[in-house]
Amino acid sequence: MLSPAADLAHRLARHAEAVCRHYLSNGRKDGRYWLVGDVFNTPGRSLFVRLTGPTSGKGAAGKWTDAATGEHGDLLDLIALNQDLDSLKDTLDEARRFLSLPRPVREAELIAPAPQGSPEAARRLWAISQSIAGTLAETYLRSRGIMDLRNVGSLRFHPRCYYRADEDSPTETWPALIASVRDLDGTLTGVHRTWLDPTTRGKAPVATQRKAMGDLLGHAVRFGTALDIMAAGEGIETMLSLRQVMPDLPMAAALSANHLAALLLPSTLRRLYIACDDDPAGHRATVQLTERAEAAGIQALTLAPALADFNEDLRTLGAGALAAALRVQLAPEDVDRFLAAFIAGKDRERVAGSSLSVPGNSVAAGPERRERAPPTAF
């Protein structure tokens, strides 16, 4: 028997065009798709909703992708975001209202507990989480040197996420950064939680600060839609650090070394960059994924950090040094494709800085003078 959420998602998919005309009225039909700017009904063509197809699996009706953010989902997810609904109950009520369905007689059936750690439990947590903008999750990521948080639709925030150290421990609630784990078709299969401390704005003082649940093997937290080229690594913060200098390169965080080794790769992929953490598990995973990629005819190139991982590189050495190190590890054509914008921005900063130079090899800074900053790595 389908869960109430899955049943409503299937019902909405059977009326996908009507759903789009109601919630995405600024879009238009184009063949088998509905095109619009984003889930908030902004005019444009970035987001596309499949109007026809099977009820589940690849190419299913009602599935949508925002090419600009890499965010995916079904029509329940779309309604929750479009209507700014922060609970699964409110989302299901809105879907029933649209479909002209009565509310269930027994409210308990609507919110029957999902099996602990299951994909359904992960889906419910994702549905009741909110955008990270202006939240503790955004503050935490910025404290880790991750300042560019555009197009991170795979990340959300929950202000009171349940935490239990083990089965015998009491349940606590802590704010948490929530990341969606998706398969190659964009279906949500799990979530990853990073519990946070609202006092220190760092990780929460709990025994296990990060946990994932759902169906994880082969899947990943995805940033952007991978076609011919992508990067993959273990941690969310590792991949977000690489995005600070290569925001247009699609990336996947597999969440652990073992899961990185087993990551499923798109059939369209021709080059894979593997962000290797500098520890034995990271090196083993890199070797295993390289072998799998090359057996599939995919060129695999390793990206090696200067320190333990790329987030440590970003925080300790800075974005300029990180980009300089990556520049010699990328294929030459990918430097132009993925690093050019960052390099150009650094060049503009350097030119602007030189226009402020004054005698004595210093830079004016109000009424005082300070030493000139060292040159960038470019």
Q: Following DSSP, what letter does each residue of 158-207 receive, concatenated?
A: EEEEEE-SSTTSPPEEEEEEEEEEE-TT--EEEEEEEEB-TTTSSB-SSS
Question: How far is Cα 203 from Cα 176, in angstroms, rounded to an integer?
Answer: 9
- b/e map 4-18, b = 16+ CB within 10 Å: bbeebbbbbbebbee
Are the C-beta atoms of 136 and 201 separated by less than 8 Å?
yes
Q: What is the pTM of this model?
A: 0.67
Phi, psi (5° rounding) for residue 214?
105, -160
Average pLDDT over residues 235-250: 97
Question: How far is Cα 24 from Cα 27, in angstroms, rounded to an integer?
Answer: 6
Q: Following DSSP, what letter does each residue of 112-168 receive, concatenated?
A: PPPPTTSHHHHHHHHHT-EE-TTSHHHHHHHHTT----TT-TTEEEEEEEEE-SSTT
What pLDDT, on a 0 to 100 scale, did the predictor assign at position 248? 94
**More confident call, 114 vs 55:** 55
Structure tokens, 365: 């800074």
What pLDDT, on a 0 to 100 scale, did the predictor assign at position 277? 96
pLDDT digits (tens, 9 = 90+) for 301-337: 999 999 999 999 999 999 999 999 999 999 999 999 9
Question: How far is Cα 220 from Cα 258, in angstroms, rounded to an integer?
Answer: 12
What pLDDT, on a 0 to 100 scale, did the predictor assign at position 246? 96
Determine how many CB atoms are found less than 10 A away from the CB of residue 363. 15
Phi, psi (5° rounding) for residue 233?
-155, -170
Are the C-beta atoms of 364 and 358 separated by less than 8 Å?
yes
Residue the block writes with tokens 């992508």 = 230
Are the C-beta atoms of 251 and 230 separated by less than 8 Å?
yes
pLDDT digits (tens, 9 = 90+) for 195-208: 999 999 999 999 99
Contacts 24+ apart (CB under 8 A), 55-61: 55/10, 55/13, 56/10, 57/185, 58/185, 59/185, 60/13, 60/185, 61/13, 61/14, 61/16
What pLDDT, on a 0 to 100 scale, did the predictor assign at position 2? 63
Give the Cα-Cα-Cα angle 85, 35, 31 (nearest 5 degrees).
130
Q: Side chain identity at 247, as an amino acid letter?
A: P
Using alpha carbons, list the distances in angstroms from residue 111 to 6, 200, 229, 348: 13, 34, 41, 55
pLDDT digits (tens, 9 = 90+) for 129-183: 998 999 999 999 999 999 999 889 999 999 999 998 888 888 999 999 999 999 9
What pLDDT, on a 0 to 100 scale, did the predictor assign at position 241? 98
Are the C-beta atoms of 185 and 215 separated by less than 8 Å?
no
DSSP single-letter state for residue 44: S
Average pLDDT over residues 344-365: 47
What pLDDT, on a 0 to 100 scale, did the predictor assign at position 375? 32
Question: How far is Cα 14 from Cα 146, in angstroms, rounded to an integer?
Answer: 40
* Dihedral sign of CA atoms 149, 212, 238, 258 in order: negative
